[in-house]
Chains A and B, each alone.
Chain A
């Protein structure tokens, strides 16, 4: 099937041109829609590796078109899964790679959750890529390719229905993220990168151990098939299976930044260059996503009429709930202690992960629905905060981007450095201080969860869901609410302090320099935040249906396993 796909898609012309002929050509491609978010960025990235570093305009155009194509593709995916399926069964797209049948071949599965995550990645990726064009893309080699490969790994991880395939995509996105974290080099980045790589290599091994254990007792790697087979395991095998799933989830909780596994996160995220850190915000959500996926597949009754037949949900939810609360508290204390905006944004990421994990720990359909809404809002909020951190910091001390002498003499870097002086894409827009201030307030409102923006709607939804839900692990529901209120309060204090320091402090007043490209990308993220608040009705309906679909994964399993090749 990949071979057939090669015709219309392969070659740089096809990739670059994807943004253009949407009307005519993509309709023929519609059965191949699920593979596009993976294959388009990888082809564009591979092609850009062939180009010389100095043709950065061409690279910027190819990269921009690719991220735009990803945005369009993900919108089409969302539209497809929103369409009415047969007999009211939710629409789930299954793409069989190489046309091999489900339990044996590798499948890509697009349900509402996967489509939503791909869309979030695409929006954030598009904004961050645009932002990077202002200056960051050229301070080190091969930024564009690495960036697209990271997006490809994320999309693959969201779309795949196969556990080992997930490992491969996980490694692809990690490898790209190592390169991106080290992008622009410098002592701080290399130090943070060293620890980041070590912890991720270790967690990949936990992932492999988990996969191995699960395979050894079920003989399958397909997620839907795993859920079905695990329901019929004997007690001895079931213990191994549960151990496997627990070890696997630990690997992803490390990625999501659950408290004791999250000490690497603030340093790494604060050290990364702003556009990279913004995309990293969605990387933590990948860990959260896989945790939710494992949880919900295990929760289905698999036709036996008993919910949670394997006891995996009962095993994981208390850990998620308690771990989530601890993460929220850790993130809040960290947010209070951080002086710089990148660090504050990194701790906001941790708080966001903690809130999501605690919400998943309740294993309640309503709470999970509200938490998915929170996931979208907080991801964009954190992304905008990371992007804002640089222009705001530039206002105080206009220091050039750090380009430190590389360890290994690279002609390219030294050449670039001279070119970098005064390089700026777009015009520096006037009135930028007011604009920056406004954007800062909006992103703070989303993250803190104050009305009238999406963060408030989401947090309110989670809290009311938690309180209405009786059977939450006894007595912890009030603790969840208290932790969330505390985190909002801590973030409010931290953001207000940072805002006063950045905008109201007297002293030499330098006009902030924001290039139009940066302003547009930050504005894009924040307007999405505002849009999902204004269109809260449709977006909440989509998300409610998503959580309903997750609560009854029969549709997912049937779509994956039901069809004969």
Chain B
């Protein structure tokens, strides 16, 4: 499972980086979203990958049989934040498209 997860995160992150470096604003925003997914999965896996164990401490369970709840709450926070940032970026992207008349990240076509 670790291997699958690692390869998956790597692929998503690599696609994200490639897209962020593209010249169109839409590609950049999709790239940033993919990077966000990769980082969130990375953050989640930092609490060790475990399946079928609860993160909630009860009197009967021993601590070793628990999933780490902290990364899960961190991921939740980071999902919310990056989601709202993406929405904000989308608005700016549309504003830039409207003001400059192009969807190039520099606000002007370079190869003309």
Q: Which residues of A contact B (CB under 8 A)?
A: 164, 167-168, 171, 174-175, 178, 182, 185-187, 190-191, 193-195, 197-198, 201-202, 204-205, 208-209, 211-213, 215-216, 219, 221, 404, 407-408
Contacts and interface: CB of A to CB of B under 8 A. Distances in A.
A187 B43 contact: no
A215 B84 contact: no
Contacts of A198: 20, 28, 32, 89, 105
Given A197-B88, A201-B82, A204-B82, 18 more contacts: A168-B77, A182-B95, A191-B96, A195-B105, A197-B85, A197-B89, A202-B35, A205-B35, A208-B42, A211-B43, A212-B39, A212-B42, A212-B46, A212-B71, A215-B71, A221-B70, A404-B99, A407-B95
Interface string B57-100: 00000000000101100100110011011101100111110111
Given A175-B85, A208-B39, A194 B105 contact: yes
B107 interface: yes
A205 B36 contact: yes
Interface residues of B, number: 36
Nearest to A178: B88
A215 B43 CA distance: 9
Contacts of A164: 74, 77
A219 B46 CA distance: 10
Given A191-B96, A404-B99, A205 B39 contact: yes
B47 interface: yes
Interface string B30-46: 00100110010011001
5 contacts: A164-B74, A178-B88, A190-B92, A205-B35, A205-B39
Interface of B: 20, 25, 28, 32, 35-36, 39, 42-43, 46-48, 68, 70-71, 74, 77-78, 81-82, 84-86, 88-89, 92-96, 98-100, 105-107
B99 A190 contact: yes
B20 A197 contact: no
Contacts, number: 96
A245 B24 CA distance: 32
B5 to A, nearest CB: 13
Name the prevailing secondary structure of the A interface residues: helix
A195 B20 CA distance: 11
Contact of A201 (B32, B47, B98, B107): B32
A322 B15 CA distance: 32
B70 A215 contact: yes
- Top 8 closest pairs, chain A to chain B, by CB: A407-B98, A216-B46, A191-B107, A212-B46, A212-B43, A205-B39, A187-B99, A190-B96
Contacts of A205: 35-36, 39
Contacts of A204: 81-82, 85
Contacts of A168: 77, 81
A195 B28 CA distance: 10
A204 B85 CA distance: 11
Contacts of B96: 190-191, 193-194
Contact of A213 (B46, B77, B88): B46
A202 B77 contact: no
